Amino acid sequence: MSDPTIVMSLPIQIAVVQHNPKVGAVSGNCAQIIEGYSQAASAGAELVVTPELALLGYPPRDLLHRQSVIKAERAALNELQCATEDGPALIAGHTADSTRESGPPLMNSATAFVDGEATVRYDKRLLPTYDIFDEHRYFSRGNKPQTVVIDGVTVGITICEDAWYDHEVTGQQRHGTDPVAAYDDVDLLVNLSASPYRVNKPSSRITRFGNHAQNTSTPVVFANQVGGNDDILFDGTSVILDAVGATVTSAPVGKPHVLFNSSNVGSRESVVPPETTQLRRMLEVGIRDYLHKTGFKDVVIGLSGGIDSSVTAALAAEAIGPEHVYGITLPSAVTADENRTDAEHVARNLEIQFGEEEIESLSKTAIESIAGLTEGEATRSITRENVQARVRGLLLMGVANDSDALVLTPDNKSEAAVGYCTLYGDAVGAVAPLGDCTKRRVYALAESFNSDPPQWIDSAPIPDSILEKAPTAELAEGQTDEDEIPPYDAVDSVVRQYVDNKNSVEEIINETDATREQIKTVVQRLTRSEFKREQTPPALRVTTKAFDSGWRYPIAASYAEVIGSDSMNQS
């Protein structure tokens, strides 16, 4: 990359409306865009750019099959067009009727409005259909580049995947066409995006679009959506780059923002927050938007005195305010006094609401009832253990119902991978903030909170005793997680290689420090736990492959060929 302290001038004053849309809330999304457009006009912008599908929000999924939604979007698009009669040009993302004789009836498009007229429409040429994306289900593909002239400046238009024809997520080139290469003689290139977040994605995007700028010798504008929509997070981090790929200015991570180049010409390249800081910020965006976009204000969390529930509580308190978080500890006869005390300390440190209720009597009644239904046979140990978790789930959901709140599930990706959770027990809830974070990442988040506490407290919220103790589900006396599953360092390594990197078992054996037996245990448990993951809450997506909308494995299937039975010495 070029020297970031040397920034070339741009041919036009540009603004990006990095807004946080609610999927399907067309009128509200339109109002956000118009407000940002007005700010840009007041600042002297000559061109304003929105993200992809800005009026509908991304991903709209099967709302695209509802004509009432499409009709509302068309009306809002006319509203945007009228707004440009006495203002700067606007390039806005939206759906449009397909121009093809066959295939899906819509196109993913962008229209340039100049002086109140729709001058040019561009249709997205590369449609992603992998991982969380399913655009061929809804859209027909565009087939040509498109430019618009604004104040004598020729602007080339692209939409999201058009700039990722060799998409790094899949590890291979997905498309045979490079739409960016078609713009070898323009003055400015814009990309309207709804580009999801993953750890360190903001930095990789700046590199990618910087390379596009260098390869075309053209300034580049990347306009991205921000906010959480269900399990998918969008970091924003819109950026304006000059013709040699140096950053002119960029928008913040995880916040709505109107980005101008006019007030930032000559600025140094912006600093993207460190990995754990940006992860913490985006998980909080996901919690906050999940609540607000579903009409809730408060959450309930079962505090066990362990690392996962403590970090979940800290994220929630910082995301929506401690007054909206209710932490509840539910000890049984096997709960250590230290864990009950640690749970209370976390709640007091975070200044959230706190409650406690013993579950022994309820658990005993349930176990006796189960034994009565099985002809008086002794209840299995796994049944006794799971009853405790399910009684806790029952109480947490009851409190949430009574308080008009949502339960946050504290389970992490490592546990989800090996099925180390109890259905209808600790896995109850509306959303799993840590569901795509390995155990190591959970500890990193805890250390982040302790080194940089939430602004309303001045000390570390998570006690050292929690950081130092052995993780435990504590459903039996003296139980630790390593009694049931391999150490988390081994689990995390296998999950990263097998799930995120799609490596084979033999490759994992060669590339990790995990033993053959540990790898065998993790992969076998992972494949056998699919039925659990199908029934657990959505996990906020922060990696290239989460156990959610982008993970599509069958429940009832043979995995012998996938696992490699010979290499694993399976019986």
Q: Which of 32, 460, 445 is nearest to 277 (CA)?
A: 445
Q: Which of 389, 533, 361, 394 is nearest to 472 (CA)?
A: 389
Three-point CA angle 350, 351, 352, nearest 5°: 90
Residues 6+ apart with CB under 8 A from 351: 317, 322, 456, 457
Task: Report helix, strand or coil for 59.
Answer: coil
Q: What is the number of other CB atoms lying within 10 angstroms of the CB of residue 1? A: 15
Catalytic residue among 124, 439, 520, 532: 124
Using alpha carbons, list the distances in angstroms from residue 223 to 11, 147, 166, 249, 313: 18, 17, 20, 12, 33
Catalytic residue among 30, 73, 135, 160: 160
Q: What is the number of other CB atoms lying within 10 angstroms of the CB of residue 186? A: 21
Task: Report helix, strand or coil for 139.
Answer: strand
Using alpha carbons, list the distances in angstroms from residue 262 to 6, 90, 230, 451: 16, 16, 35, 37
CA dihedral 507, 442, 198, 420 (to 10 degrees): 60
- For residue 119 the two structure tokens come to 């001058």
- Alpha-carbon gap, residue 275 to 542, rounded angstroms: 11
Catalytic residue among 46, 52, 385, 474: 52
Q: How far apart are the first and last CA of the chain?
A: 54
The answer to whether residue 160 is catalytic is: yes
Catalytic site residues? Answer: 52, 124, 160
